[in-house]
Amino acid sequence: MTQSLILRRPDDWHLHLRDGAMLEAVLPESARHFARAIIMPNLVPPVVTAHDARAYRDRIMAALPEGMDFTPLMTLYLTEQTDPDDVADAHASGLVSAVKLYPAGATTNSASGVRDFDKVRGVLDKMAEIGLPLCVHGEVTDADIDIFDREAVFIDRVLDPIRRATPGLRVVMEHVTTSDAVDYVTSQPQDLAATITTHHLVINRNHILAGGIRPHYYCLPVAKRETHRRALRAAATSGDARFFLGTDSAPHTDALKESACGCAGCFTAPNTLSILAHVFEEEGALSRLEGFTSLHGPAFYGLPANEARITLTKGDPVPYPSRIETGDGPVTVFDPGFALHWRVT
Ligand code: DOR
Ligand code: ZN
């Protein structure tokens, strides 16, 4: 018997599209399945002002192949120099959907991020006033905090104090990787949601390190131990509208990943939906997949769910390329380690 599932067309609430040749190569991989995506601003140099965001949005639209339907939802990269009025104007004109907070040094191209949170107080207050969400990379950067503890420590030392100091600020804790983050989100009465990536539902830290080091499983926040992966699966499949998909699909060339100091990021755009259907089926939660991929995100961002539908059909293994070619070099596609039987049509 063929099993199939019709979903509203999904959105990706956290995506890295890069620029130039990489953008051209990876954009169709997302646009094929996703209607909209929150576009990360960590380019070099970063997308800091409304002017930068408009120019980047134009480059994305210019790279979109004829006939594909995709809307980039732009973000601004928060710096200690960000002007609250520029942010408010960008929001009022419909140009940006969120502001992104990278603690300085936390991850790829985060050097221009925030060191002193008092310096962004004016922007955060303005955002709370106008209802513009803050997307947060939730890891402390202190060298003395173990990398596996950086998310949990961030909640106590940074996130909770910021939220208490800024009532009404709407926050998305991005790519949560711990049961601590899941518990924090579910303990809060309002104004807080979290995205979960595809890969963090599949791998734990052993996948990166046991039996050899596997650079294509290295991302930030780094995958944690199995108990945390289980908590993420439970949250994603729970039906709780505070959790929704943000793939954090983050392409780097193989040369940059397979290196003595490899870049962080898993490239999951091509096969994310097949993997998610597999995961939700394993959890006996296929009926909740649409909420996670297509309903909870728009509800948080105050946008209508997409009217178009996609169909997922279960059958023979679906072949995905192990890598895609880009003008910058090959990029390896995330390997979930199991055969994928759900095909998107
Ligand atoms: O793994 C990651 N890759 N995590 C991030 O936070 C940034 C991203 C990237 O830009 O490559
Ligand atoms: Zn990211």
Q: 110 C-alpha to center of ligand 1: Å?
A: 9
C-beta 135 within 6 A of ligand 1: no
List, in sequence order, every beta strand (DSSP E) within 126-282. 134-136, 171-173, 192-196, 243-245
Domain that holds residue 82: 4-344
List, in sequence order, every beta strand (DSSP E) within 178-283. 192-196, 243-245
Instruction: Give the helix ranges, DSSP H, for the chain.
Output: 20-31, 50-63, 84-92, 121-130, 150-154, 160-165, 179-187, 199-202, 205-209, 226-236, 254-257, 272-282, 289-290, 296-301
User: Does the pLDDT at position 1 exceed 70?
Assistant: no
- What DSSP string describes 42-92? --SS---SHHHHHHHHHHHHHHS-TT---EEEEEEE--TT--HHHHHHHHH
Ramachandran angles phi, psi of 48, nearest 5°: -100, -40
Please list the residues that pair with 311 across neighbouring strands: 6
C-beta 219 within 6 A of ligand 1: yes
Tokens read off for 103: 């603690």
Active-site residue 89, yes or no?
A: no
The CATH number assigned to the domain holding 140 equals 3.20.20.140
Tokens read off for 336: 């979930």
Structural domains in the chain (count)? 1
Q: What is the pLDDT of residues 233-290, one digit of tens each?
A: 999 999 999 999 999 999 999 999 999 999 999 999 999 999 999 999 999 999 999 9
3-state SS assignment for residue 315: coil
Report the amino acid identity of residue 111: A
User: Does the pLDDT at position 107 exceed 80?
Assistant: no
CA dihedral (304, 234, 17, 163) in degrees, to 10, reads 70
Contact 160, 214 (CB under 8 A): no
Element (H, E) at 292: none
Measured from the CA of 265, which atom of ligand 1 is nearest? 1
Q: Which of 43, 140, 219 to mutate to test the pocket of ligand 1 (most atoms within 8 A of CB)?
A: 219
Measured from the CA of 219, which atom of ligand 1 is nearest? 1
Tokens read off for 291: 């909420």
Q: What is the pLDDT of residues 43-55, one digit of tens each?
A: 999 999 999 999 9
Q: What is the pLDDT of residues 129-172, one digit of tens each?
A: 999 999 999 999 999 999 999 999 999 999 999 999 999 999 99
Distance in Å from the first CA to the final CA of the chain: 18
Tokens read off for 249: 């699909």
Rounded CA separation 182/68 (Å): 35
Among 256, 250, 298, smallest CA distance to 15 is for 250
